[in-house]
Structure 1
Amino acid sequence: MKINASRSSSTRLDRSRHAAPQVFEQLREMILSLELAPGTVLSRADLATRYGLSQTPVRDALMKLGEEGLVDIFPQHATVVSQINVTSALQAHFLRRSIELEVVRTLTEQRDAALINRLRETIVGQAELLDLKNYEQFSLLDQAFHRQMYKAAGVPQLWDLVRRLSGHIDRLRRLHLPVEGKTMDVVRDHTKIVDAIEQGDVEAAQEALRNHLSGTLNQIDQIRTSHPNFLADD
């Protein structure tokens, strides 16, 4: 599979900003959403044409994607969207779980009513999308839910760190999201987390979080069966 350089839907760039970070951000989101599936060939020349740029910022963007393990770069040959590395996904999950267990502990001790209201509003937004199967917007609200918690706990930079390291597990979650009942499970999990925070129950909040974050990893075998060419173990 090869990316179509003639597409124009994602090529707009803010000319007041450096080009390479914008190309990186757009390609990264396309990879995480699986719009660019594992195995897609990314031609530097085609991307330069698509974005109306020289090849230098495109090369820089691809190198940064390579640093995150989202593309495999074969010098003088091709750049290919990488398979989903299960080992990397497991490590990213371990890191995120470790951090967020402390995040929910902090929030449960604070019991900030304004934060609780904001989190519930985000859950309502997700619930409204259940019947629409708008997985892209649902995923954005899922990220917003967790980002709000990191910010309220005073560790927003750790959210940025987790996001940088979560490319493989994010793609697993995106494959899992359309499975029947998964989006409802997410809404239910988020509600349990917020209920426990509001009640000041640290143990319940942490248990709800553990269950929430482990849902996709418990389905790896099924995801592998459905998408055998997308996953790699190392």
Structure 2
Amino acid sequence: MATSRANEILPVLEQDIVTGKLTPGTRLDETVLAEKFGVSRTPIREALNRLSTSGLVEIRPRRGAIVAAISVQDLMNMFEVMADLEALCARLAARRITPAEKEALRAAHVDCHALSGTENFDEYYVLNLRLHDLLYKASHNSFLEKQVCELRRRLSPHRRLQVRIPGRILASSNEHGALVKAVIDGDAALAEKLTRNHVAIQGERFTDFLATLPSHYLQASA
């Protein structure tokens, strides 16, 4: 039950932090939050611990949890590494994917693409995660899969916001179509290139990404 309630509380706190409603340095008092959400302190503590693993919250001994400071440069560095890790997954997947995994990847893309003309942001985000998970598993490199999943957890709140950029669902789904085809066709070099471009934030996507961030990210970069 505590984990179930923590799962409900987590996205609310994530959203408040990445949109600037809760600014860096804000103390996250377990008792106050428990009263706000109408729960015991146990699911609050679990949610805060999970936010700590994603880098959004800093838990200090005997001082409790506070909202962590993070800059645009920090985020860009993480996205840069994420793009390379996912590109490597795609390259290996193109060489190692099994027939059953090909079918699962095709089906995942069909499900994502069905939402490409909608504004079902949260549903698309979940299906998008499923597609990328299949790509990681198809690399058949468990160490790489673990590393990319850990970094994805750090970036998850910001990737969730990206989906809400106008036109991003359609663009993302079209990019999925090309990279999925490359993986299934066994074109490792193309799969690597397309996946890196899909994950990396550059050009107009960088400007759009900045527009989703509250001002304190830019202040932290100064």
TM range (shorter): 0.7 to 0.9
Hey, what's the Cα distance between the residues in 2 that align with 1:87 and 1:117?
38
Match of 1:181 in 2: 167
Hey, what's the Cα distance between the residues in 2 that align with 1:208 and 1:72?
35
Cα 1:131–1:221 shift into 2, 3 Å: closer
Is it true that 1:66 corresponds to 2:52 in the alignment? yes
State the shift of 1:182 in Å. 1.1
Aligned residues: 214
Task: Compare the two structures and name the one with the higher helix fraction.
Answer: 2
Match of 1:146 in 2: 132
Cα 1:64–1:183 shift into 2, 3 Å: closer
Task: Read off the aligned partner of 1:126 and give its amino acid letter.
Answer: C
State the shift of 1:60 in Å. 5.7
Match of 1:192 in 2: 178
State the shift of 1:168 in Å. 5.4
TM-score, scaled relative to structure 2: 0.76
State the shift of 1:125 in Å. 1.1
Identity of aligned residues (%): 22
Is it true that 1:231 corresponds to 2:213 in the alignment? no
Task: Read off the aligned partner of 1:149 and give its amino acid letter.
Answer: L
Cα 1:221–1:134 shift into 2, 3 Å: same
Match of 1:52 in 2: 39
Hey, what's the Cα distance between the residues in 1 that align with 2:153 and 2:217?
13
Between 22-31 and 72-81, the greater mean CA deviation after superposition: 72-81
Is it true that 1:207 corresponds to 2:193 in the alignment? yes
Between 153-162 and 112-121, the greater mean CA deviation after superposition: 153-162
State the shift of 1:46 in Å. 3.0
More RCO (CA 8 Å, sep 6+)? 2
Match of 1:4 in 2: none
Q: Which of 38, 62, 81 in structure 1 is aligned with 2:20?
A: 38
Hey, what's the Cα distance between the residues in 1 that align with 2:114 and 2:62?
48
Within 5 A, what are the aligned runs for 1:50-129?
50=37, 52-53=39-40, 55=41, 58-59=44-45, 61-72=47-58, 79=65, 81-82=67-68, 85-129=71-115
Hey, what's the Cα distance between the residues in 2 that align with 1:118 and 1:73?
39
Q: Which runs of 5+ in 2 are unaligned?
A: none
TM-score, scaled relative to structure 1: 0.72
* 1:150–1:159 CA contact under 8 A, matched in 2: yes
Please state whether the residue corresponding to 2:215 is helix, strand or coil: coil
Please state whether the residue corresponding to 1:129 is helix, strand or coil: coil
Q: Give per-residue Cα distances to partners, 1:57-79, cap 9 Å, x unaligned.
A: 63464245235321255888885
Is it true that 1:29 corresponds to 2:17 in the alignment? no
Q: Which runs of 5+ in 1 are unaligned?
A: 1-12, 14-18
* 2:109–2:177 CA contact under 8 A, matched in 1: yes
Cα 1:160–1:140 shift into 2, 3 Å: farther
